[in-house]
Amino acid sequence: MSESIDVSGETKEEKYESLVPQIEALVDGENDLIANLSNIMSALKFGMGFLWIGVYFVKGEGDSKELVLGPFQGPVACTRIGYGKGVCGKSWETKQTIIVDDVKQFPDHIACSSLSKSEIVLPAFNKLGEVILVLDVDSEHLANFDETDKMYLQQVVSIIEGCADELIC
Protein backbone atom coordinates (compact mmCIF):
# COMPACT_ATOMS: atom_id res chain seq x y z
CA MET A 1 0.00 0.00 0.00
CA SER A 2 1.18 3.47 -0.82
CA GLU A 3 1.70 5.98 1.96
CA SER A 4 0.70 8.95 -0.16
CA ILE A 5 -1.49 9.96 -3.07
CA ASP A 6 -0.01 11.92 -5.95
CA VAL A 7 -2.71 13.44 -8.14
CA SER A 8 -1.60 14.98 -11.40
CA GLY A 9 -3.37 16.81 -14.19
CA GLU A 10 -4.94 20.16 -14.81
CA THR A 11 -8.52 19.18 -15.59
CA LYS A 12 -10.98 17.42 -13.32
CA GLU A 13 -10.93 14.40 -15.65
CA GLU A 14 -7.13 14.19 -15.62
CA LYS A 15 -7.12 14.35 -11.82
CA TYR A 16 -9.67 11.53 -11.55
CA GLU A 17 -7.74 9.46 -14.12
CA SER A 18 -4.66 9.86 -11.94
CA LEU A 19 -6.50 9.19 -8.67
CA VAL A 20 -8.79 6.21 -9.35
CA PRO A 21 -5.96 3.70 -10.00
CA GLN A 22 -4.29 4.86 -6.79
CA ILE A 23 -7.53 4.21 -4.89
CA GLU A 24 -7.64 0.71 -6.37
CA ALA A 25 -4.08 0.15 -5.17
CA LEU A 26 -4.97 1.45 -1.68
CA VAL A 27 -7.57 -1.27 -1.14
CA ASP A 28 -5.70 -4.08 -2.89
CA GLY A 29 -5.04 -6.84 -0.39
CA GLU A 30 -6.91 -5.15 2.49
CA ASN A 31 -10.18 -6.78 3.55
CA ASP A 32 -11.29 -4.41 6.30
CA LEU A 33 -14.13 -2.26 4.98
CA ILE A 34 -13.70 0.60 7.46
CA ALA A 35 -9.95 0.82 6.80
CA ASN A 36 -10.58 0.86 3.05
CA LEU A 37 -13.35 3.45 3.25
CA SER A 38 -11.24 5.66 5.48
CA ASN A 39 -8.38 5.67 2.99
CA ILE A 40 -10.72 6.15 0.03
CA MET A 41 -12.35 9.17 1.70
CA SER A 42 -8.96 10.69 2.48
CA ALA A 43 -7.67 10.09 -1.05
CA LEU A 44 -10.73 11.75 -2.57
CA LYS A 45 -10.78 14.67 -0.10
CA PHE A 46 -7.16 15.59 -0.61
CA GLY A 47 -6.86 14.44 -4.22
CA MET A 48 -9.87 16.39 -5.47
CA GLY A 49 -10.11 19.16 -2.86
CA PHE A 50 -13.71 18.44 -1.83
CA LEU A 51 -15.21 20.32 1.12
CA TRP A 52 -16.65 17.10 2.57
CA ILE A 53 -16.77 13.48 1.51
CA GLY A 54 -18.06 10.45 3.33
CA VAL A 55 -20.33 7.46 3.38
CA TYR A 56 -23.59 6.75 5.13
CA PHE A 57 -24.41 3.07 5.81
CA VAL A 58 -27.95 1.71 5.59
CA LYS A 59 -28.57 0.30 9.09
CA GLY A 60 -31.53 -1.08 11.00
CA GLU A 61 -34.38 -3.42 10.23
CA GLY A 62 -37.67 -2.96 8.39
CA ASP A 63 -39.22 0.46 8.83
CA SER A 64 -36.51 1.53 11.28
CA LYS A 65 -33.77 1.58 8.64
CA GLU A 66 -31.80 4.79 8.35
CA LEU A 67 -28.52 6.08 7.01
CA VAL A 68 -25.78 6.19 9.64
CA LEU A 69 -22.56 8.16 9.26
CA GLY A 70 -19.47 6.18 8.34
CA PRO A 71 -15.90 7.19 7.48
CA PHE A 72 -15.60 10.76 6.21
CA GLN A 73 -13.24 13.70 5.72
CA GLY A 74 -14.23 17.30 6.38
CA PRO A 75 -16.28 19.28 8.91
CA VAL A 76 -18.42 17.36 11.41
CA ALA A 77 -21.50 15.83 9.83
CA CYS A 78 -25.06 14.74 10.44
CA THR A 79 -25.05 11.38 12.16
CA ARG A 80 -28.36 9.88 10.98
CA ILE A 81 -30.55 10.52 7.93
CA GLY A 82 -34.00 9.08 7.31
CA TYR A 83 -35.19 7.24 4.22
CA GLY A 84 -36.08 9.74 1.51
CA LYS A 85 -34.79 12.69 3.57
CA GLY A 86 -32.32 15.16 2.12
CA VAL A 87 -30.12 14.38 -0.86
CA CYS A 88 -28.64 11.23 0.72
CA GLY A 89 -32.00 9.80 1.73
CA LYS A 90 -33.47 10.61 -1.68
CA SER A 91 -30.55 8.85 -3.44
CA TRP A 92 -31.15 5.81 -1.22
CA GLU A 93 -34.88 5.90 -1.98
CA THR A 94 -34.54 6.33 -5.76
CA LYS A 95 -31.41 4.15 -6.07
CA GLN A 96 -29.94 6.81 -8.34
CA THR A 97 -27.11 9.30 -8.35
CA ILE A 98 -28.27 12.82 -7.56
CA ILE A 99 -26.36 15.97 -8.54
CA VAL A 100 -27.49 19.18 -6.83
CA ASP A 101 -26.12 22.44 -8.24
CA ASP A 102 -27.49 24.56 -5.38
CA VAL A 103 -28.41 22.79 -2.15
CA LYS A 104 -30.64 25.72 -1.13
CA GLN A 105 -32.91 24.83 -4.07
CA PHE A 106 -33.21 21.13 -3.14
CA PRO A 107 -36.46 20.41 -1.28
CA ASP A 108 -35.83 18.92 2.18
CA HIS A 109 -32.06 19.52 1.99
CA ILE A 110 -30.36 18.71 5.29
CA ALA A 111 -27.77 21.39 6.04
CA CYS A 112 -25.02 19.64 7.98
CA SER A 113 -22.61 22.46 7.07
CA SER A 114 -23.49 26.00 6.07
CA LEU A 115 -20.39 25.96 3.84
CA SER A 116 -21.89 23.36 1.48
CA LYS A 117 -23.25 24.84 -1.75
CA SER A 118 -23.50 21.85 -4.12
CA GLU A 119 -23.57 18.09 -3.70
CA ILE A 120 -23.41 14.73 -5.44
CA VAL A 121 -24.64 11.49 -3.85
CA LEU A 122 -24.15 8.02 -5.31
CA PRO A 123 -25.71 4.80 -3.99
CA ALA A 124 -23.71 1.57 -3.62
CA PHE A 125 -25.44 -1.80 -3.94
CA ASN A 126 -25.06 -5.37 -2.71
CA LYS A 127 -25.44 -8.41 -4.97
CA LEU A 128 -29.21 -8.36 -4.40
CA GLY A 129 -29.48 -4.81 -5.77
CA GLU A 130 -30.17 -3.29 -2.35
CA VAL A 131 -28.55 0.01 -1.37
CA ILE A 132 -25.95 -0.68 1.34
CA LEU A 133 -24.50 2.81 1.60
CA VAL A 134 -24.36 6.16 -0.16
CA LEU A 135 -21.25 8.15 -1.07
CA ASP A 136 -21.87 11.83 -0.31
CA VAL A 137 -19.65 14.62 -1.65
CA ASP A 138 -20.11 18.33 -0.86
CA SER A 139 -18.50 21.43 -2.35
CA GLU A 140 -18.32 25.01 -1.14
CA HIS A 141 -18.89 26.10 -4.77
CA LEU A 142 -22.21 26.22 -6.63
CA ALA A 143 -22.68 23.76 -9.51
CA ASN A 144 -19.35 22.06 -8.80
CA PHE A 145 -20.41 18.55 -9.87
CA ASP A 146 -21.20 17.23 -13.32
CA GLU A 147 -21.25 14.08 -15.44
CA THR A 148 -17.45 13.78 -15.17
CA ASP A 149 -17.71 13.54 -11.38
CA LYS A 150 -20.58 11.09 -11.72
CA MET A 151 -18.61 8.83 -14.07
CA TYR A 152 -15.43 8.71 -11.99
CA LEU A 153 -17.13 8.60 -8.61
CA GLN A 154 -19.19 5.68 -9.93
CA GLN A 155 -15.88 3.90 -10.53
CA VAL A 156 -14.99 4.59 -6.90
CA VAL A 157 -18.41 3.27 -5.81
CA SER A 158 -17.67 0.08 -7.77
CA ILE A 159 -14.41 -0.27 -5.85
CA ILE A 160 -16.34 0.22 -2.59
CA GLU A 161 -18.94 -2.37 -3.64
CA GLY A 162 -16.11 -4.83 -4.23
CA CYS A 163 -14.72 -4.11 -0.75
CA ALA A 164 -18.16 -4.39 0.83
CA ASP A 165 -19.30 -7.56 -0.93
CA GLU A 166 -17.96 -10.04 1.54
CA LEU A 167 -18.47 -7.94 4.66
CA ILE A 168 -21.93 -6.41 4.28
CA CYS A 169 -23.83 -8.57 1.79
* DSSP per-residue string spanning 114-137: TT--EEEEEEEE-TTS-EEEEEEE
Are 65 and 132 in contact, with CB atoms under 8 Å apart?
no
Lowest model confidence (mean pLDDT) among 9-13, 60-64, 68-72, 82-86:
60-64
How many Cα atoms are found within 13 Å in the side-chain-facing hemisphere of 14? 4
Domains and CATH numbers, the chain: 12-168 (3.30.450.40)
Those residues with Cβ within 8 angstroms of residue 30's Cβ, 6 or more apart along the chain or in another chain: 1, 36
- CA distances in angstroms from 166 to 22, 44, 46, 52, listed in the order given: 22, 23, 28, 27
At 105-117, the pLDDT tens digits run 987 777 777 788 9
* Confidence check: pLDDT of 165 > 90: no
pLDDT mean over 149-163? 95
116/85 Cα distance (integer angstroms) = 17
Q: Which pLDDT value is given to residue 169?
A: 32
- Rounded mean pLDDT, 46-70: 95
E strand or H helix at 52, and its extent? strand 52-59
With the CA atoms of 127, 158, 46 and 58 taken in that order, what torsion angle do they form, in degrees rounded to the nearest 10?
-20
For the sheet with 118-125, list strands across it: 80-82, 66-73, 52-59, 131-139, 118-125, 98-100
